[in-house]
Structure 1
Amino acid sequence: MAVRLPRPHRFDVYIAIGGLLGGLLLAGIGLATRPAKDPITLFDGPWPILVPLVVMAGCELLRRTAPRAALLIGTPAICADVVTQGSLATILMFTDIVYAAVLYGPLASARRIQWITGLLTVAGTLVPFAVWRVPQALLIGVVVGVVAYGPAATGWIVRNHRDAAEAARLRAEQTALLAELDRSQAVTAERSRVARELHDMVANHLSAIAIHSTAALSLDDPKTSKEALSVIRENSVEGLAEMRRLIGILRDRGNDHAPAATPTLDGLAALVDGARSNGLDITLDTEHGTVPAPVELAAYRIVQESLTNALKHACPGKVTVALAQRDGVLRVRVASPYGHRDGPRAPGSGAGLVGMRERAALLGGTFEAGPDGALWTVHATLPLTEGDSA
């Protein structure tokens, strides 16, 4: 199975063509790096220069797609160029290959190339000087440093800057992603809060309307129908007022003069009176001191939703509402008769129980609801310290 080589980058093709044409031009005009009579020149004339030149131009095609292979092939080519009169184009292309091998190659290879070229520079400086004992011998190390170590060091610096820029870009993307995630979570939490408020504020009135309208339609009694219509009108007006108050809060969010729609435990008596007017027999027992506002709101809404469920589903009988504050916890308990109901029922979706459980969980409390013998009991514990932090 044939291995398909990666296609060279367009910029690398331009470099290879430019280096090859430049080397041919220099060879054509007879411009070389060393004279023909130089002691290390083994092959005189312009034609031996072309072999390492062509090989080096081919390596330039691999400088980005296969940088290690380009360096492994280019190193023998530059050594071969040394025993000819030499071409400046071949030397320049080799420096570019060393630079590309550090910049585009694997990190481990880039480190090794740094060390190898550094050691070659030191050896090229010390060994000739130790052998010949002339200052001019130090120039060999300078040439090795310019041709090998200089490009490697430059490639390492550029690579570090590139990696730092890439890391900064990734951090910026992660920060933007986290910000978007936080925004989405905030929007979701706000929508859930508004949904709970809307359900708890309106469900009680709509349930009363549904039950009394069903009774008015099923009973052929003008007096009963008139009483049912009165209750329906009262709950319609109150429900509409609650809706307008919630809409006002949403529209005037952040306005210092926005209407205050947060109910308090002082309003439980009015809430119970409204439930009594809808036909429930309720006993209210409260024993609490100063309660943080989040806990106060949660307790009020839990009682309100429990009374709504009692209106929709409870059997005839007494409903008890009890609030007690002990040991840093506000306990809320609502019990209503449980069993078969002969009268009309309002449909339920289960969202009320979910909302009550969410309210308790947000404050770090607990919530339980279910049958307890002949009673359906709702029990919630709301820590007061969690209420302060919330």
Structure 2
Amino acid sequence: MSVTGVLRGRSLARKDVLPAAGLFVLGVVFLSAGWDPFAWGKEPPWPVPLPWRLVVLAGACAAVLVRRTRPLPALGVGVLFGALDLLAGFSVAMLLALWELLHSAVLHASKRASRLLARTVMALTVAIAVVLFATAQDLQVVVLLVLLMLDLVLVPVWWGVTVRQERETAETERLRAEQQARIAELDRRSAVAEERARMARDLHDVIAGHLSAIALQSGAVDPRRDEREIVDDVLRAIRQNSVEALREMRAMIELLRSQDPQDRRIPDTAPPRLAELDLLLDSARAAGLEVAVEGGAAPPAGLPASVDLTAYRIVQEALTNAIKHAAGARSWVRVFPEGGDLHVEVVNELTRGGEPVLPGAGAGLLNMRERAAAIRGTVTARRDGDRWRVHAVLPVAGERERNER
């Protein structure tokens, strides 16, 4: 047992011993002084010596020791000794002991037992009051007896019920506070996980997109064989991807360093959009991919920023995967609105045999699906004959309404 447990046990024992000892000492003083206000006239019906009165009082005080751990048995023992003391005159200390036992039984017993005890006490009190009024010869004396009985019996019951209700209310509030704290902690963890997932997607787009393109472009050209014009085009594409990757990485690092999301020191770097689709296609062509745009490269006007960025990232990831797994193959990109949604479709031929030019981490398809799900869209990626088809459906009208709220 720990030191804290020992100290707590001693503290609880002291809370039990002090009231019992105090009641017994008070009873000894009162009985020794001959102050017995509840005696039956001059002589009680069963006069007993003082030592026996003290034995009866000691039994009731012993029940006080276990009034919190065994409330109902302690009350039963106290009532038994109280009945014995009643025949000898019923002392004030015995009355206080029964008062404490009744209060503790209502307070510490089970909820069902406490409720039953309170109702029983009230019913007995009402029954006794009715009998007294029915058989009374002096109404004034009966009223005084009933008021005294209410003070001596109903007050401890009422007090115990009130304290119990306050404790239950406090316990309910404590549990509610713990639940709210637990929910807040889960929300915080969820927010952190969501933010980490978002950062992972952004880093993947920058690294897997731009840097993979750089690696493929630099490996696809041979300065000793290729014409100078081809080499210059590849070098320009490599430089463009490098600058773009550095720009996005710098913006992300500055955002992570800042404590204030409205910090003006963060550079105003606009996220890539479908308006820059031609640059993305040129970069893919420089890496050796034959890319054609169906329906023109101009994106629909008036797209929400979230839809525009998501569509761009899906095209970027799909082309990056095509470069990795189908180098030199033909690809088609199609972006078109339909029924309040924006459809993004990237199709590429499947190469027969051979290994991917660059190893993949397997996160590309997952990132595309997560980006689409963030704006309540969907992405499907599957084989379609001798081609690989990526098709995204991004809601435009719903996202525009969310942005306007």
Per the TM superposition, whether the score is higher than 0.5 is yes
Q: Any conservation in 2 of the 1:205–1:239 contact (CA below 8 Å)? A: yes
Selected match of 1:26 from 27, 30, 41: 30
- Taking a change above 3 Å as real, the CA distance of residues 143 and 120 of structure 1, as seen in their structure-2 partners, is farther
SS of residue paired to 2:392: strand
Is 1:373–2:390 an aligned residue pair? Answer: no
For residues 331 and 292 of structure 2, the distance between their equivalents in structure 1, rounded to whole angstroms, comes to 6
Letter in 2 for 1:310: A
TM-score normalized by structure 1? 0.89
For residues 269 and 225 of structure 2, the distance between their equivalents in structure 1, rounded to whole angstroms, comes to 40
SS of residue paired to 2:134: helix
Which residue number in structure 2 is paired with residue 3 of structure 1?
A: none
Q: Any conservation in 1 of the 2:324–2:359 contact (CA below 8 Å)? A: yes
Is 1:255–2:263 an aligned residue pair? Answer: yes
**Counterparts in 2 of 1:94-173, with a 5 A limit?**
94-134=98-138, 135-173=140-178
5+ long unaligned stretches in structure 1: 1-5
Residues 292-332 of structure 1 show CA distances to partners (whole Å, capped at 9, x for unaligned) of 22211111110011111111111423211101101011111
- Taking a change above 3 Å as real, the CA distance of residues 261 and 220 of structure 1, as seen in their structure-2 partners, is closer
For residues 230 and 323 of structure 1, the distance between their equivalents in structure 2, rounded to whole angstroms, comes to 26
Alpha-carbon offset, residue 77 of structure 1: 1.9
Alpha-carbon offset, residue 344 of structure 1: 6.5
- Taking a change above 3 Å as real, the CA distance of residues 236 and 315 of structure 1, as seen in their structure-2 partners, is closer
Residues 200-243 of structure 1 show CA distances to partners (whole Å, capped at 9, x for unaligned) of 12311221233345557xx7947699767775555333322221
- Taking a change above 3 Å as real, the CA distance of residues 273 and 220 of structure 1, as seen in their structure-2 partners, is closer
For residues 210 and 341 of structure 1, the distance between their equivalents in structure 2, rounded to whole angstroms, comes to 21
Q: Any conservation in 2 of the 1:310–1:336 contact (CA below 8 Å)? A: yes
For residues 145 and 344 of structure 1, the distance between their equivalents in structure 2, rounded to whole angstroms, comes to 92
Alpha-carbon offset, residue 262 of structure 1: 2.2
SS of residue paired to 2:216: helix
SS of residue paired to 1:182: helix
Selected match of 1:359 from 371, 378, 386: 371
Is 1:189–2:182 an aligned residue pair? Answer: no
Residues 270-301 of structure 1 show CA distances to partners (whole Å, capped at 9, x for unaligned) of 22122222222211235634222221111111
Alpha-carbon offset, residue 41 of structure 1: 3.4
Cα RMSD for the two superposed structures = 2.7
5+ long unaligned stretches in structure 2: 1-8
For residues 174 and 75 of structure 1, the distance between their equivalents in structure 2, rounded to whole angstroms, comes to 43
Alpha-carbon offset, residue 366 of structure 1: 1.8
Q: Any conservation in 1 of the 2:39–2:90 contact (CA below 8 Å)? A: no
Selected match of 2:245 from 239, 259, 274: 239
Letter in 1 for 2:153: A
For residues 56 and 161 of structure 1, the distance between their equivalents in structure 2, rounded to whole angstroms, comes to 28
Letter in 2 for 1:275: A
Q: Any conservation in 2 of the 1:117–1:149 contact (CA below 8 Å)? A: yes
Which residue number in structure 2 is paired with residue 298 of structure 1?
A: 310
**Identity over aligned residues, as a percent?**
38
Selected match of 2:291 from 244, 269, 282: 282
Q: Any conservation in 2 of the 1:370–1:376 contact (CA below 8 Å)? A: yes
- Taking a change above 3 Å as real, the CA distance of residues 293 and 231 of structure 1, as seen in their structure-2 partners, is closer
Q: Any conservation in 2 of the 1:125–1:142 contact (CA below 8 Å)? A: no
SS of residue paired to 2:303: coil
SS of residue paired to 1:331: strand
Alpha-carbon offset, residue 53 of structure 1: 0.9
Alpha-carbon offset, residue 101 of structure 1: 0.8
With 296-305 and 10-19 compared, the bigger mean Cα shift is at 10-19
TM-score normalized by structure 2? 0.85
For residues 235 and 265 of structure 2, the distance between their equivalents in structure 1, rounded to whole angstroms, comes to 36
Q: Any conservation in 2 of the 1:16–1:57 contact (CA below 8 Å)? A: yes
Q: Any conservation in 2 of the 1:305–1:352 contact (CA below 8 Å)? A: yes
For residues 237 and 339 of structure 2, the distance between their equivalents in structure 1, rounded to whole angstroms, comes to 41
Alpha-carbon offset, residue 86 of structure 1: 2.0
For residues 128 and 191 of structure 1, the distance between their equivalents in structure 2, rounded to whole angstroms, comes to 78
Which residue number in structure 2 is paired with residue 58 of structure 1?
A: 62
Alpha-carbon offset, residue 30 of structure 1: 2.6
For residues 143 and 79 of structure 1, the distance between their equivalents in structure 2, rounded to whole angstroms, comes to 18
